[in-house]
Homo-oligomer: A and B are copies of this chain.
Amino acid sequence: MKDFFKVTDLDAVLALVPDFLKVKTETVGLITAVDRVLAADLTAREDLPGFARSTMDGFAVRASSTFGASDGNPAFLNIVGTIVMGESPDFSIGRGEAAKISTGGMLPEGSDSVVMVEHTEAIDETALEVYRSVAPGQNLIEKGEDFVNNETILHKGCRLRSQEIGLLAAFGSDRVRVYKKPVIGIISTGDEIVPVHETPGPAQIRDINTYSLSSLIAGIGGVPVSYGIVKDDYDDLLAKCTLAREECDMVLISGGSSVGARDFTIDVLSSLPEAEVMVHGISISPGKPTILAGSQQKAIWGLPGHVVSSMVVFHMVVRPFIEFIGGQARQGSQTRQGSSRLRLSARLLRNVSSAPGRIDFIRVRFIEEDGQLWAEPILGKSALINTMVKADGLIAVGINSEGLERGADVSVMPI
A147 touches B367 (CB 8 A): no
B117 touches A192 (CB 8 A): no
Q: Check if A30 is an interface residue, CB within 8 A of chain B.
A: yes
> Which residue of chain B lies nearest to A199 when distances are taken between CB atoms in the complex?
B172
A382-B258 Cα distance, complex, nearest whole Å: 59
Q: Check if A174 is an interface residue, CB within 8 A of chain B.
A: yes
Q: A202-B51, A258-B102 are in contact. Are A163 and B311 (CB under 8 A)?
A: yes
B88 touches A414 (CB 8 A): no
B204 touches A385 (CB 8 A): no
Stretch at the interface among A60-68, A234-242, A339-347: A339-347
Q: Mark A45-66, 1 if CB is under 8 A from B, else 0.
A: 0001111010101000000000
* A70-113 interface (Cβ within 8 A of B): 84-89, 102-106
Stretch at the interface among A18-26, A265-273, A329-337: A329-337
B335 touches A211 (CB 8 A): no
Main DSSP-derived SS at the A contact region: loop
A206 touches B169 (CB 8 A): yes
> Contact partner of A368 among B48, B87, B334, CB < 8 A?
B334
> Which residue of chain B lies nearest to A231 when distances are taken between CB atoms in the complex?
B86
CB of A346 to closest CB in B, whole Å = 9
* A158-183 interface (Cβ within 8 A of B): 160-174
A90-B73 Cα distance, complex, nearest whole Å: 103
Q: Check if A17 is an interface residue, CB within 8 A of chain B.
A: no
A339 touches B414 (CB 8 A): yes
B167 touches A385 (CB 8 A): yes
Collect the chain B residues with CB atoms within 8 Å of residue A257's CB: 103-104
Q: Name A's B-contacting residues (CB within 8 A).
A: 1-2, 4, 30-31, 34-35, 48-51, 53, 55, 57, 84-89, 102-106, 117-119, 121, 141, 145-147, 153-154, 160-174, 190-193, 196-216, 218-219, 224, 226, 232, 257-261, 305-307, 311, 333-336, 338-339, 342, 344-345, 366-368, 373, 381-386, 388-389, 391-392, 414-415
